[in-house]
Amino acid sequence: MIKVLVVDDSLFMRTLISDILNSDPEIEVVDTAKEGREALIKISKLRPDCITLDLAMPGWNGLTTLKHIIAEYPTPVVILSAHSKKDSDITMECLYAGAIGFVLKPSGELSLDVEKVKHQILDEVKAAAKVDVRKIKSFEPKAHPPLKEISHKPKEIRRKFTATNKIVIIGSSTGGPQTLELILSYLPVNFPAPIIVVQHIPSNFFSHSLAEHLNHICEIQVKVIESNENIKSGIVYLIPSGFRLLINQIGMKEIITFLQREEPDILTPSIDFAMKTIVEIYKENSIGIVLTGMGHDGVQGMKAIKEAGGNTIVQDNSSLIFGMPKAVIDAGYADIVLPAPEIPKCMVKYVS
């Protein structure tokens, strides 16, 4: 049984969330807490396998509570967040502070219709409960190099480059934001190829918050891609939540993007679809990377890249969740398997 502590300042929400979790035979809610200090005391006594944590609470808010949990009793935490720019920014801070994942409440803080996201809550809790707490520690807030500072990068990454006709596409899910920061912060401003990032994320607010965070930390430019945008080397493009990427080649070098809305899904945007789209234009010049996450999204996309003669890189079992990388490895579509800190050097090798 997965033992869960539910933390929310609303009695009504604690009851609804507990009912959802207890409806699954693999999960047992061992207790609830209405604020952060109470939660910490109960964690010390009950030692749950996972915690669901509300952001807006009296006293310690969700972020402060999370920092205490990670520092004192490292435990997988799933954040329950509302739809707003402010909440998306705080949720991103929580992910970098050690939260495993998050679920959006469908109607704000007091969501009487939280049943709508029942399956997402259950999936996130089950995935989080499998995470080795020693990996959670590795994502505690860390000091970043000064903005635009590249002296920390290996020599082969600091050298000058000539633009190529290649493209890199990265797929990630749970644990992705932290891993993307680790990888992208090592890349130089003159990286000689465009990079497409497909991060499973449930709201456009969060797509933009993630891009803003990465753009501040990384030397290379990071932005959310827009329709009718010309893909250029040296820029990281995030596909926004709820859309799929279409591209069209105009002449020899003009690659124009289009966004097509897709049905809401827990796995959005689709890694497989984006990779297959890229391969149609770039063929053997495609470089695919699959990082941490649960499920199998990315397997068919990496297959398409391999069959076209491109290169494929997969994060090893140091992944926060080894589901997606393992699925690609088991299917035989991984050229090389590496820990995240070694992936930037391999990217440079493949595009140069």
**Residue 206 confidence (pLDDT):** 84
Q: Which of 81, 173, 207, 233 is catalytic?
A: 173
Q: Which of 9, 81, 123, 200 is catalytic?
A: 200
**Separation between Cα atoms, residue 330 and residue 321, nearest integer Å:** 15
**Residue 141 confidence (pLDDT):** 44
Residue-wise burial string across 161-189, b where 16 or more C-beta atoms lie within 10 A, e elsewhere: beeeebbbbbbbbbbbbbbbbbbbbbbbe
Residue type, 292: T
Q: What is the mean pLDDT of each run of 10 residues along the chain (352 residues)?
A: 96 95 98 96 97 92 94 95 77 89 78 84 94 74 41 60 85 93 92 95 81 92 92 94 84 75 71 95 96 95 98 96 97 97 95 90
Element spanning 95, H or E: helix 85-97
Q: Is 23 a catalytic residue?
A: no
Domains with residue ranges and CATH for the chain:
2-137 (3.40.50.2300), 155-351 (3.40.50.180)
Residue-wise burial string across 84-107, b where 16 or more C-beta atoms lie within 10 A, e elsewhere: eeebbbbbbbbbbbbbbbbbbbee
**Residue 171 confidence (pLDDT):** 98
pLDDT digits (tens, 9 = 90+) for 199-213: 998 776 788 889 999
**Separation between Cα atoms, residue 199 and residue 289, nearest integer Å:** 12
Are 63 and 53 contacting, i.e. CB atoms less than 8 angstroms apart? no
Q: Is 297 a catalytic residue?
A: yes
Tokens of 321: 């969740």
**Separation between Cα atoms, residue 289 and residue 108, nearest integer Å:** 35
pTM higher than 0.85: yes
Q: Is 173 a catalytic residue?
A: yes
